[in-house]
Structure 1
Amino acid sequence: MSARYEVLEAVADFARSTDARDWVTLRGLLADDARGYGTDGAEQVIAQMRTHLDGCGPTQHLLGNHRVSFASEEKARVWSYGRVMHIGAGDKTGQTLELFGEYDDTWVRQAKGWVLHRRAFEISISLGDWGVLRKAQ
């Protein structure tokens, strides 16, 4: 299996785990010193993600147009177009937030496999109600 394939499988697992709210699997896909979603450290990254998704309804992180560049055998930079749909829950039922943009990730290979070290998401289009992103009620 090629390193490109392996790292893109990790990218896909991260999206699937996010949509499933599978925080245990997500933790395994993060480097201890991960940086993303406006914070540093794997536990803090997950906590930040939960402040947006625990009170949100279903989501889908659809990724494509991947570009992969290897700095070494243990470090890859991955750019992926993202189309992310969030469905409101509770008093936000019927509301949606859809984001279009590009993820800029750095992944590192560790003994357990590829883990996310750094993530940024450059939003180019947002449609809908940002209020669907919230903590559990």
Structure 2
Amino acid sequence: MRRLLDRAEIADVQIRYATGTDSRDWALFRTCFTDVVEVDFSAGFGQPAARLQADDWVAMTAPRMESFTATQHQITNQVVTFDGEDRATGVAYVRASHHLPTSTGDSDQTVYGSYTNQFERTADGWRICALKLTPLWMTGNFGIFQAALPGAADVTAP
């Protein structure tokens, strides 16, 4: 019975991750992580994996996501395997849609792929201690990610 409850809690963490991102609720987003988190988006976006304070990860993520008019992260097909009582790996499909009206083409960009996240049981429940995104393919205007960088030139449609 405990494993079923653990699986449900881990699924809830991933739902909070998506909901916090898309609703711009950064306090909710922060509840998904241990105090230190390894973030690896290298497969799709080129930056190397990094071990960060979770507060710094939230501070880096917030301005980028807030630059989009809207985002929608759908996390599905979650499979959780346990490594002892207090560690687990969760693999889940992701479809991450990003919208930013632009005068330079399509206003949307969508990433299809998977998250492979490492979880750790803490005093506050299960939390992500390592986050890895593996894109399988992307569609739409890849330029809107660059345009969403804080300080980027305004490419929004008049």
Q: Structures share a fold, TM > 0.5?
A: yes
Corresponding residue of 2:100: 88
Corresponding residue of 1:113: 125
Q: CA deviation at 1:122?
A: 0.5
The alignment status of 1:5 with 2:8, answered yes or no, reads yes
Please say if residues 106 and 140 of structure 2, whose CA atoms lie closer than 8 Å, have aligned partners that are also in contact: no
The alignment status of 1:43 with 2:55, answered yes or no, reads yes
From 67, 91, 111, the equivalent of 1:79 is: 91
Please say if residues 55 and 89 of structure 1, whose CA atoms lie closer than 8 Å, have aligned partners that are also in contact: no
Q: Secondary structure at the match of 2:9?
A: helix
From 28, 43, 68, the equivalent of 1:56 is: 68
Q: CA deviation at 1:92?
A: 7.2
Identity of aligned residues (%): 23
Bigger Cα Rg: 2
Q: CA deviation at 1:33?
A: 0.8
Please say if residues 54 and 136 of structure 1, whose CA atoms lie closer than 8 Å, have aligned partners that are also in contact: no
User: What amino acid sits opposite 1:72 in the alignment?
Assistant: G
Superposed CA RMSD in Å reads 2.0
Higher strand share: 1
User: What amino acid sits opposite 2:33 in the alignment?
Assistant: L
Q: CA deviation at 1:131?
A: 3.0
Aligned residues: 137
Residues in 2 aligned to 1:45 and 1:105: alpha-carbon distance in whole angstroms: 15
Corresponding residue of 2:155: none
- TM-score in terms of structure 2 length: 0.78
- TM-score in terms of structure 1 length: 0.88
Runs of 4+ in structure 1 deviating by more than 3 angstroms, as ranges, are 89-94
Q: Secondary structure at the match of 1:132?
A: helix
Corresponding residue of 1:14: 17
Q: Which runs of 5+ in 2 are unaligned?
A: 42-48, 152-158
Please say if residues 80 and 103 of structure 1, whose CA atoms lie closer than 8 Å, have aligned partners that are also in contact: yes
